[in-house]
Each structure stands twice: as C-alpha cells, then as structure tokens.
Amino acid sequence: MFNIGDYGLRHLFDGYATLIRLHFENGRLIAGHSQIQSEAYRAAKSHGRLCYREFSEVPKTANFLAYIGELASLVSGESLTDNANTGVIKLGDGRVVCMTETTKGSIQVDPNTLKTIGKFEYTDNLGGLIHSAHPIVTDEEFLTLLPDLVYPGYRVVRMVAGSNKRELIGRVDCRGGPAPGWVHSFPVTQNYILVPEMPLRYCVQNLLKAEPTPLFKFEWHPESKGFMHVMCKRSGKVVASVEVPLYVTFHFVNAYEEHDEEGRVTAIIADCCEHNADASILQRLTLQNLRSFSGKDVLPDARVGRFTIPLDGSPMGKLEAALDPDQHGRGMDMCSFNPAYLGKKYRYLYASGAKRPCNFPNTITKIDLEIKTAKNWHDEGGVPSEPFFVARPGATAEDDGVVISMVSDKEGGGYAILFDGPTFEEIARARFPYGLPYGLHGCWVPKN
Ligand SMILES: [Fe+2]
C-alpha cells in the first residue's frame, strides 16, 4: 500500500505490507489479500501519516525538540518500522512469518486466513536492531546475520525449528569500513555460511538523517573494497576471507562446494544477482521513476554474478558473469531455484530479466547455468513478481515442477501464471478480479 490518506510514499521498499495468498485446488485458483497489521501500519492508518521510519522515509516531526526525542528513540530502535514488507518464510515447525530488515519487523501470520497473529519475538538476549531480510530456512533451522554497526562485523546466528531462541554460531569482523556492508541476503553451502562484505555499507548518519539521502541508509565506499568471508557452520570459525572485485547485490541465489579428487573442499562457488557494482539501482526504484516510463531504456544492467572463493589461503577471489547477460536482457533480480538444491551444485535458476527498453525487470527467465542459456517469457506492458519454483511431489529431476509468478498487466489488472519447469512453457493462467500491486518475495506453503 503506497498511500496513506492523500500522502504518497516515495520508494518501492516503503509500501505497507500486503500479503497475497494463492491457493490451488482441483484445477481452480482461490486468492485473497490482507494488510499485515504491523504497529507502523496501524499507526499510519489511525494518524493519517507516517509514524515510524520506513526504508526511505522518516516521519515529519513537529519541532526540533521532538526530533531530538526521535533521535533518542532511534538509538533504542523504537522509531524503526516493523512493516514486514519484504518476504514470507515458513519455519521448520510450520509457523509462517513475514519479514523485513528490522528485527522487530518479524510478524507471524496465519497462512490460511492471512490474519496477523502477532509479533514473532526472539526470546534470546542477542539484541540487534537489524538482520538480513532473507534468512536461510530449512526444516531444521533458521540462519541469519546480525550486522554490528558499532564494531563493524556480523554475528552469524542459528535458531532451531520449534524455538524462538537464536544462538550465536560465530562472528566475522569487517575488513573494510566505516560500517558493515549491507546484507539483504547471504548464501550457504552444505558446510559453510558465506558472509558478504559489500562496499555498499550501512551508514549510521544516514539512518539518523531527517531527509532521504541518495542511497538512503547506505553509502558507497569503493575505497573500502569488497570481501567474501567463509564460516564453518559447525565450529563458527572463519576459514577463508578473500578480497573480491567491487559488487552490488540484493539477492544471492545459491552456493556450493567444489572438491578435489580426495574429496577436500578446494573452493566455493556463490551466485548472486549482481548490478555491475553500480548502486544507482536503489535510486531507480523510487515510485516516481517506476511510474514514469517514457519508452527510454533506463534499467541499469545486471548479471548472474558468480564468485569463486578459493579455500587454499589465496587472498583474492573471482567474480565473473555466470553466462552472457544478453541472454536475459541484462536484467537480473528476484531469483529462485529448487530448494532441494540449497547449498548444493545446481543447474537452473528462475528470475526476472529484461526485455529492453524498460525501466524495471519485465520478463521471467529460466537460466541453465550448465549450457549458459536463458529462456525468456514476456507480456508487453506487464510486470511480473518473483517467480518461484515448486517441485512436483516425488520429483527427481532438478527442474521437475512448476514456476509460479504474479503479473501486474498493462491495463492495471493482474493474473497468476504457472510454467512447466522442464519446458518453461506457460501451462496455466488465472485472472484476478482486480489488480494487485507489484510484490516482492513469496514462499510455497504445502497443504499438509
Ligand atoms: Fe529481497
């Protein structure tokens, strides 16, 4: 929801979270939507204005004294939003939680009724105002990173299924500064947790500023360089920390280990949607830009960035395109893959690519990382949300399943669309009775 009364929010990441449910049964689609009842949303609704700090905006304070009071509450985290508008996860114990980058913005919902159940409380004493918006979630555990803004670094934590208590696995100290790099997401392999340190870093001053700065809560520090750190999941020890070329990514796709003939791990491969080390993508996502497409091609280029991280003590890692970015129109974000391949060598990824000219990713693409090709789907004027892969029960082939997305069409309407995994041909489409705005991340919740 991008409007409160007659006030319009400014950035794609500011909207108040709407949860959408698609339910497939007997060849029919039943859908519904509901606003997540965060404190930030309820306060904005009842006061007719912003009351908490959203991604790019801060509430207007009546006077300077009120601002000073707000600074004090920012330190305690009180004024930060709990607007859980980034993604939905299903924990190993079945609870479904909506997430954002603030820790307080973890909100449990009922996936059947879409009702807000309440705050998901972390019952440990690890604190931390912010965390990665994309934890790694399996049936057994939930892993996430807590950036440390005071002593630049990251705490890596685990919460076992059924628990609300996070436990510290280990800590990574940043090699650059002045603050930790933004960690919207991170990848894991079977034995390691990868901690990215991007030169796009959190900026404590920007967090405190009353007006948005060009990169919002972040700053671009190319002089501070980019790094990838590798932590052993079992011991919490950092086993490698390499410098890599400068990079900008929101979303890591997956990672896996490479072995020598004796079975020793020699390197780690990690893939991400990489914006050619250009942070201007953040500015491109203001609503004003997104709503004013003039026919000119203004979407910055992106690629599948593939990191190779050596584990033999070499100081440098590599970053290259995993395939020719022209294969997917040099647009690349909102990625998914078969979750059974988490941390393992995988072949296929699904994402939003580009058919240019455009101002936003406007295709759905299936990428074959082995033969380095993409198959692209496009509907003129339509904007697809994240495509995600759902395996066929009993599937053995990696791409045996369906890919689900939602599309906002040219006329303002919308539909759900399903693709056959192996052929990537459209197999079903269901129109919504009314249009729904572009959405960020989804998840599949099986019936049982
Ligand atoms: Fe995301």
pLDDT for 67 equals 66
CA of 333 to the centre of ligand 1 (A): 9
pLDDT greater than 70 at residue 210: no
CA of 286 to the centre of ligand 1 (A): 16
CA of 250 to the centre of ligand 1 (A): 6
Binned at pLDDT 50, 70 and 90, residue 108 comes out as: very high
Average pLDDT of the residues in 273-300: 94
**pLDDT tens figures, 213-224:** 778 889 999 999
CA of 89 to the centre of ligand 1 (A): 12
**pLDDT tens figures, 228-247:** 999 999 999 999 999 999 99
pTM for this structure? 0.96
CA of 134 to the centre of ligand 1 (A): 7
CA of 317 to the centre of ligand 1 (A): 25
CA of 312 to the centre of ligand 1 (A): 32
Binned at pLDDT 50, 70 and 90, residue 212 comes out as: low
Hey, which of 46-50, 60-64, 117-121 has the most confident mean pLDDT?
A: 117-121
Annotated binding site: 134, 184, 251, 441
CA of 262 to the centre of ligand 1 (A): 38
Annotated binding site for Fe cation: 134, 184, 251, 441
The amino acid occupying position 197 is E
CA of 11 to the centre of ligand 1 (A): 14
**pLDDT tens figures, 131-173:** 999 999 999 999 999 999 999 999 999 999 999 999 999 999 9
Binned at pLDDT 50, 70 and 90, residue 271 comes out as: very high
